[in-house]
Amino acid sequence: MSLLIVGTVAFDAIETPFGKTDKIIGGAATYISLAASCFTKNPSIVSVVGDDFPQDFMNLLKERSINLNGLQIKKDEKSFFWAGRYHNDMNTRDTLVTELNVLADFDPIVPEELKQPDFLMLGNLTPMVQKKVINQLTKRPKLIVMDTMNFWMDIAWNDLIEVVSMVDVLTINDEEARQLTKEYSLVKAAKKVLTMGPKLLIIKKGEHGALLFSKNRVFFAPALPLEEVFDPTGAGDTFAGGFIGYLDKTNDISFENMKRAIIYGSALASFTVEKFGTEKLLELKENEIEERIQKFVELVKFDPIS
Amino acid sequence: MSLLIVGTVAFDAIETPFGKTDKIIGGAATYISLAASCFTKNPSIVSVVGDDFPQDFMNLLKERSINLNGLQIKKDEKSFFWAGRYHNDMNTRDTLVTELNVLADFDPIVPEELKQPDFLMLGNLTPMVQKKVINQLTKRPKLIVMDTMNFWMDIAWNDLIEVVSMVDVLTINDEEARQLTKEYSLVKAAKKVLTMGPKLLIIKKGEHGALLFSKNRVFFAPALPLEEVFDPTGAGDTFAGGFIGYLDKTNDISFENMKRAIIYGSALASFTVEKFGTEKLLELKENEIEERIQKFVELVKFDPIS
């Protein structure tokens, strides 16, 4: 199968109660593609960086079979940069710096050979950029998954609603689901979202797991209780990347397989938070993933009859 | 088997975004015993009320096989009364009125014939009252489960720690686990609690489910995503009552059976919040419980291999 990923490729600087980093590599498309590449071959990125972006890291992505033909490199411009500081609870954070740089006027260009992907993952980005990518495709993908955030609900509501209407699966967190639907109950929020276009809604609840809603079904994937969350940056993108990468690999978009995909995404996300940035994702071994999946199985397994 | 329950039997007045009640019957021991009686016969209550407490409701408890021989009725005194108002999120509430009344100098007396229970459930109450009950028993119960809350951590720390050291299972919520151990990570908090006396810790996370920790194992029970939470009062006590009632019925305190007991407790709690006070618990049918258990099974069921 084939997977196209749109999202940021960027620099992050992160402070947590456990330490701080200088500029390190981040961005939604970075995490999504690295996570997807744990399961599937040749995911492609559509994104933009400045010529300050290290060739070494691009080589590293290529070594993992990630196709960068859709990554624009802007001469004499700088890559997107975000700096943030996490509070002690690791669930809330302050943004310290946002330098849009190349992202300010990003015009995504999907290379000819990538215009018929089976799976499309729209990472969190300006809704109009997400839409431009959909519109360049010459065949409707089997599945379009869209991630977004409250920021776009605040400043680009109409655009966001339009893109939401074009996708199959929406992934947002619980607060965003409430903001999007003006419903406090997540069950009611899900019902509303499922009238807005998507056939499936994934509500990410961070340390409280994730919910998958279809019109008639609901699945709950737990988060693994972790002794230490070192850096939550990229956990949501890793989750999305694992999810879509697993679907692309298995080429099965049944509800049953989506459940598995969510568990695989959750498992990868539980690794990402163990170290700063992409560090843990980059060193991950296949048997570690399998062992962690087994932990998820055991975490919720019970036999209702004694 | 036999089950002894200590806790309040009281009046509540509740305001939620959906409506408000006059004085209705509440109290930890009320919810615990009603929930336990869904699974097991003859649970006994040790508690105290004033002579303002309605005989009709006591009859109702007796009809459900609940033994009230340990319920003191104080002449010319008034029952404990609590009034509270829930916020729109239904997760936070303000206490409007707390009238201790008979609870102010409650001296629990365990009737002779109830001094050798197999299971003891210490509902949320002054730690010293919980201790007095343990000390009146003439045989160590097979299992002592203790519920408590942040209030006692604030005003009766040493007493609380002493009682915690005497029990087998502690049930608290996530914020209380953090306050008790000064650890933010629930995994670390659990490790600490398991050095304080209890062999098992249940962390209740409300709409986010519950975690069961033993020294070497962890189990996660989801909460059922509900379309409407009408009144959360008593959900935690219902959970505890379903848990201990199921254990008493099955007389099996293995980790595997505890997992089932937590699911049964969660299922009952999901009913309690559907109506005001004890209303839903009182009208609950056995087949409704079985259907709901099945929903819990389906909620988390996945096959890791496609």
pLDDT score at B62: 97
A220 and B218: CB-CB below 8 Å?
A: no
In tens, the pLDDT along A205-233 reads: 999 999 999 999 999 999 999 998 889 99
Facing B227 at nearest CB: one of A185, A256, A303? A185
Architecture per CATH, domain A3-300, reads as 3-Layer(aba) Sandwich (3.40)
Q: Which residues of A touch B300 (CB under 8 A)?
A: 219-222, 300
pLDDT score at A89: 78
pLDDT score at B306: 74
Find, among B246, B292, B277, the residue nearest to B43 by Cα.
Answer: B246
pLDDT score at B18: 86
Neighbouring CB atoms inside 10 A of A275's CB total 14
Give the distance between the most distant pair of CA atoms in chain A: 68
Cα–Cα distance, A201 to A83 (Å, whole number): 29
In tens, the pLDDT along A129-163 reads: 999 999 999 999 999 999 999 999 999 999 999 99
In angstroms, what separates the C-alpha of A274 from chain B's closest C-alpha? Answer: 13
Walk across the sheet containing A169-173 and list its strands.
A67-74, A44-50, A3-6, A119-122, A143-147, A169-173, A200-204, A210-213, A218-221
Find, among B256, B258, B259, B264, the residue nearest to B292 by Cα.
Answer: B264
Cα–Cα distance, B294 to B127 (Å, whole number): 37
The residue of chain A with its CA nearest to that of B252 is A306
Question: Where do the domains of chain A lie?
Answer: 3-300
Cα–Cα distance, B138 to A155 (Å, whole number): 68
Find, among A202, A281, A295, the residue nearest to A234 by Cα.
Answer: A281
Facing A225 at nearest CB: one of B218, B257, B297? B218
pLDDT score at B216: 95
Q: Which residues of B touch A211 (CB under 8 A)?
A: 225
Which residue in A302, A303, A306 has the most chain B C-beta atoms within 10 A of its own C-beta, making it the best mutation to test that interface? A302
The residue of chain B with its CA nearest to that of A188 is B227
pLDDT score at A196: 98
In angstroms, what separates the C-alpha of B304 from chain A's closest C-alpha? Answer: 6
Which residue in B186, B219, B249, B302 has the most chain A C-beta atoms within 10 A of its own C-beta, making it the best mutation to test that interface? B302
**pLDDT beyond 80 at B278:** yes
In angstroms, what separates the C-alpha of B208 from chain A's closest C-alpha? Answer: 6
Q: In which band, very low, low, confident or very high, does the pLDDT at A185 lie, cut at 50, 70 and 90?
A: very high
Asked if B154 reaches chain A (Cβ–Cβ under 8 Å), the answer is no
Of A276-280, B87-91, B192-196, B249-253, the range with the lowest mean pLDDT is B87-91
pLDDT score at B1: 87
In tens, the pLDDT along B78-96 reads: 999 999 999 887 778 999 9
pLDDT score at A147: 98
The residue of chain B with its CA nearest to that of A185 is B227
Tokens of A283: 């060193």
**pLDDT beyond 90 at A73:** yes
Tokens of B155: 């005003």
The answer to whether the Cα torsion of B29, B30, B32, B38 is positive or negative is positive
B222 and A263: CB-CB below 8 Å?
A: no
The residue of chain A with its CA nearest to that of B297 is A304
Asked if A89 reaches chain B (Cβ–Cβ under 8 Å), the answer is yes
pLDDT score at A306: 74
Give the mean model confidence (pLDDT) for residues A42-70.
97
In tens, the pLDDT along A289-305 reads: 999 999 999 999 999 88
Give the mean model confidence (pLDDT) for residues B15-28.
93
Asked if B216 reaches chain A (Cβ–Cβ under 8 Å), the answer is no
A222 and B220: CB-CB below 8 Å?
A: yes
A250 and B306: CB-CB below 8 Å?
A: yes
Give backbone dihedrals phi and psi of B254, rounded to 5 degrees, phi first: -70, 160
In tens, the pLDDT along A11-31 reads: 999 999 888 999 999 999 999
Q: Which long-range contacts does B89-95 make (Cβ < 8 Å, 24+ apart)?
A: B89/A184, B90/A184, B90/B16, B90/B17, B90/B229, B90/B232, B91/B206, B91/B207, B91/B232, B93/B232
In tens, the pLDDT along B214-266 reads: 999 999 999 999 998 889 999 999 999 999 999 999 999 999 999 999 999 99
pLDDT score at B88: 80
pLDDT score at A295: 96
Pick B304 or B101 by higher pLDDT: B101
pLDDT score at A284: 96
Give the mean model confidence (pLDDT) for residues B24-29.
97
- B 14-73 residues with CB below 8 A of A? none
Q: Which residues of A touch B250 (CB under 8 A)?
A: 306
Q: In which band, very low, low, confident or very high, does the pLDDT at A102 lie, cut at 50, 70 and 90?
A: very high
Tokens of A4: 């196209």
Q: In which band, very low, low, confident or very high, does the pLDDT at A105 lie, cut at 50, 70 and 90?
A: very high
- ipTM of this model? 0.92
Facing A187 at nearest CB: one of B218, B225, B257? B225
Q: Which residues of A touch B297 (CB under 8 A)?
A: 304
Asked if B205 reaches chain A (Cβ–Cβ under 8 Å), the answer is yes
Average pLDDT, chain A: 96
